[in-house]
Structure 1
């Protein structure tokens, strides 16, 4: 038996979703071609994907939403808090008790609380309880949408950065263990080594950037240079930048080390994959003509690291996000008041 055709109204709504999706995609492509390091690119791509998904749902048979989409959403909603809580415990044990290492634990606890609240109140609760639940769910939906947009676009951005024709590589520092390069930083340096050996003609310069932090017996840059030389990179191709203590300083001071060399516009910055897009956004804000490439990161480390990067980007645009969150949180309460 053939599935029922969509009604005239459903066809109009589906066509509207499809048209809006195409418009959002066009805005994304234009923004991407003009400047791929914009946060707005991530949002427009997410809007286009969401609207396209809604169009597909409208034109698909009713059982698709009821039998596939809704159960999938329910499973993800239940499993995500469990996965984040488990990862939080692993981070707590392996990386210590610093606030940055418990973000996945906190996120998992928060999502678990939202799931419990939804099951307890449900649609049958009092008007004001449902309004409160609606505010929480809309806020969570907004944050989840932004997170998915930034995560997805970060992966896309990391794959479009040029790998050849590079004349300088800037490696951002990370913490040392005394004088030793830890695995996180070693992955950046190994990525830089592979990139260095991939170039033809004149080998690129490598700038290693990082000052000396608490508990470190030398500057990060000095330890990074030793690591690269020990692994076969000629010492005269490695330049030191030993003052930076933040990502912004890594970028500014690292590019300054290159001075007015002709290599400046072919600089690729190397950091870890979770840090790629925020570094690119920072470079754009500083008007530095560089793009960013990511190095692999241990899987257990990624959730907290990605959440930290997401928070940093959201905070950077805190005014807009605050306004939108306030509007979403207020909407259920306004609807409840209108029914009184």
Structure 2
């Protein structure tokens, strides 16, 4: 059982860090390391046992990995085509397709390197495989921790519920994505009021160049049309990004006092990144997510992942340069 000690130790560290501050990307990395260490320990036990069943399981895992890669490519292409049909051909809607193409390109590069065995292809293959493993680990860690974060309960009372804007249809109409956030915010507000709080709901969103009114005003109208008290709504109508949503809403909330508490509402795919941003700008509160259409979620998660990679660009550039150096070393030694 000692082989599982690293995973157990990392799990205890993860629990301690989540209790102290759940809004950290390092928590996601720790969760990924826990899973990786546990998987390596399990496979090590299978190999060291020398039993026929261990070998069968090891071969089955390899076959499952190959089948999983094939299914992943099919899923990415299918989801990408559905996104184009339903949402249009904007660059952000093509991320699933681009991910599928990237996986196929990686497989082709590795196959060519294995067959031709030229120094250049081996060097490129080493770098590409290392980068794919690194990004896959981070993405799976993000998926796992986002799922966990979305299920951690907000147990305290809140002075404010903040709804993040997401754009309007036709310049004035709340789209289904934003309606989902508003419905969830209304439910969260009702729960906070039942706990005895005098909670105010902040609709946050400015006016885009193609919009007839600020998003926050359309969001407030959506709520009041469904019976929400107008006197419990405040409008933050200057922001154009998630960070501005949170910074400008924070300025409103701090009028109550520095000890305010809030709950931020956005869509489930966006909740963890919004939590990271909330921590960075000093907002005192957690983020909860509302449901998102199943076809939209994979592409949106890829976009969230790209945004998080950009937020930690220095670390990621350093890792990329190390992987390039490994590829150059393989090329030089062939």
Q: Same fold (TM over 0.5)?
A: yes
The one of 331, 334, 337 aligned to 2:332: 337
**Mapped partners of 2:80, 2:283: distance in 1:** 36
The farther-off stretch of 142-151 and 329-338 is 329-338
Q: Does 1:194 align with 2:187?
A: yes
Task: Structure 1: give runs of 5+ residues left out of the alignment.
Answer: 1-13
The one of 131, 135, 139 aligned to 2:127: 135
Aligned to 2:255: 260
Task: Structure 2: give runs of 5+ residues left out of the alignment.
Answer: 47-53
Q: For residue 262 of structure 1, report the CA deviation from its aligned partner.
A: 5.7
Q: Does 1:174 align with 2:163?
A: no
Q: Does 1:288 align with 2:283?
A: yes
Aligned to 2:13: 27
CA contact (8 A) 1:209 1:244 kept: yes
Report the RMSD for the aligned CA atoms in angstroms.
1.9
Q: For residue 259 of structure 1, report the CA deviation from its aligned partner.
A: 3.2
**Mapped partners of 1:294, 1:302: distance in 2:** 12
> Residues 55-66 of structure 1: matches in 2 within 5 Å?
55-60=41-46, 61-66=54-59
CA contact (8 A) 1:172 1:208 kept: yes
**Mapped partners of 2:159, 2:108: distance in 1:** 54
Instruction: Indicate how the Cα distance of structure 1 residues 158 and 265 shifts in structure 2: closer, same or farther if over 3 A, else same.
Output: farther
Aligned to 2:81: 89
Secondary structure of the structure 2 residue equivalent to 1:250: helix
- Count of equivalent residues: 324
CA contact (8 A) 2:93 2:299 kept: yes
Aligned to 2:223: 228
Q: TM-score, normalised by structure 2?
A: 0.91
**Mapped partners of 2:101, 2:177: distance in 1:** 27
CA contact (8 A) 1:142 1:325 kept: no
The one of 289, 293, 301 aligned to 1:306: 301
Q: For residue 328 of structure 1, report the CA deviation from its aligned partner.
A: 2.4
Aligned to 1:75: 67
Deviation per CA, 1:79-138, whole angstroms, max 9, x where unpaired?
Answer: 212211121111112112221111111111111211233334336733442332122111
**Mapped partners of 1:157, 1:261: distance in 2:** 28
Aligned to 2:292: 297
Q: For residue 257 of structure 1, report the CA deviation from its aligned partner.
A: 1.8
Q: Does 1:115 align with 2:114?
A: no
Q: Does 1:184 align with 2:177?
A: yes
Q: For residue 56 of structure 1, report the CA deviation from its aligned partner.
A: 0.7
